[in-house]
Amino acid sequence: MKQLILFYLAIILPMVLFVYAVKNNMLSNNWLLIVFFSYALVYRNIIDFYRLKTKGILTNKDFFKLFVPGIRMKYFKELYWM
pLDDT tens string 13-45: 999 999 999 899 888 888 889 999 999 999 999
Query: Which pTM does this prediction carry?
Result: 0.84
- Domain residues for the domain of 70 are 4-80
Number of domains in the chain: 1
Q: What angle do CA 68, 5, 70 make, to 5 degrees?
A: 15
Among the listed residues 63, 61, 82, the one whose alpha carbon sits nearest the alpha carbon of residue 71 = 63
64-78 pLDDT, tens digit each:
988 898 888 999 999
